[in-house]
Amino acid sequence: QSALTQPASVSGSPGQSITISCTGTSSDVGGYNYVSWYQQHPGKAPKLMIYDVSKRPSGVSNRFSGSKSGNTASLTISGLQAEDEADYYCSSYTSSSTWVFGGGTKLTVL
Amino acid sequence: QVQLVESGGGVVQPGGSLRLSCAASGFTFNNYGMHWVRQAPGKGLEWVAFIRYDGSYIHYADSVKGRFTISRDNSKNTLYLQMNSLRAEDTAVYYCAKGAGYSFDSWGQGTLVTVSS
């Protein structure tokens, strides 16, 4: 199972919006509404930010939103804040009954 | 609140074995599937294995199939990962994660496994 494709890095200024893409295939992202997104600060464990493409867990800011079109899922962060600077990973369930992650995207808040 | 505490990591020679444990608390352990996810130094996340809440259904990543065994003891609220025939490329921080549908909603702090001679 190949990793999902994410941009290596994205950046934005405080208050702006950014979008991170996550591209897979019809056997994972495109085949199921089971895409999730994780935030990871350096030296810390990942934190669930979005599940089932667009649902937010309790306690996660509504500045985080998710969507999907075909084989590509997206995470949008609006009103960027300094604390949003972190690595972000997408994940999808697959037709092989396994899970696959994206390679990760480093978000820099300028 | 949910707490997951991994242990058992360390340095092991290539070809060696190690057993990781993950002690769970703060939720009804026997109601949830559990995962192991690893992260090589400076690299991204890699899903390793899943076990259903009752142990009846198990799946592995191709990279560990036949070498790693996931198991659980619901009477002890503990998840395990038996790792055999370890390779240098298995060097990583290993996280246990609580399954929530098809996502991972709580993570431990991780335990570092280093495979080196």
pLDDT digits (tens, 9 = 90+) for A44-95: 999 999 999 999 999 999 999 999 999 999 999 999 999 999 999 999 999 9
Q: What does the pLDDT read at residue A2?
A: 84
From chain B, pick out residues whose CB is under 8 angstroms from the CB of A3: 44
From chain A, pick out residues whose CB is under 8 angstroms from the CB of B37: 46, 101
Query: Cβ A1–B108 below 8 Å, yes or no?
Result: no
Q: What does the pLDDT read at residue B37?
A: 98
In this structure, are residues A104 and A88 in contact, taking their beta carbons and an 8 Å threshold?
Answer: yes
Extract the residue ranges of chain B whose pLDDT is less than 50. none
B88 and chain A in contact, CB less than 8 A = no
Alpha-carbon dihedral sign for residues B65, A94, A21, A65: negative
From chain A, pick out residues whose CB is under 8 angstroms from the CB of B44: 3, 89, 101-104
Q: What does the pLDDT read at residue A56?
A: 98
Closest CB to A51 among B35, B100, B108: B100
Q: Give the list of residues 6+ apart from residue A17 with CB closer than 8 angstroms, or none.
A: A76, A77, A78, A79, A80
In this structure, are residues A106 and A9 in contact, taking their beta carbons and an 8 Å threshold?
Answer: yes
From chain B, pick out residues whose CB is under 8 angstroms from the CB of A90: none
Percentage of residues in chain A having pLDDT higher than 70: 100
| Rounded CA separation B69/B39 (Å) | 18
Cβ atoms within 10 Å of B44's Cβ, excluding its own: 17
A25 — pLDDT class (breaks 50, 70, 90): very high
B2 and chain A in contact, CB less than 8 A = no
- On the CB side of A73, CA atoms within 13 Å amount to 33
| Rounded CA separation B9/B23 (Å) | 14
State the nearest Cα–Cα gap between B76 and chain A, in angstroms. Answer: 24
| Rounded CA separation B2/A37 (Å) | 19
Q: What does the pLDDT read at residue B95?
A: 98
3-state secondary structure of B88: helix
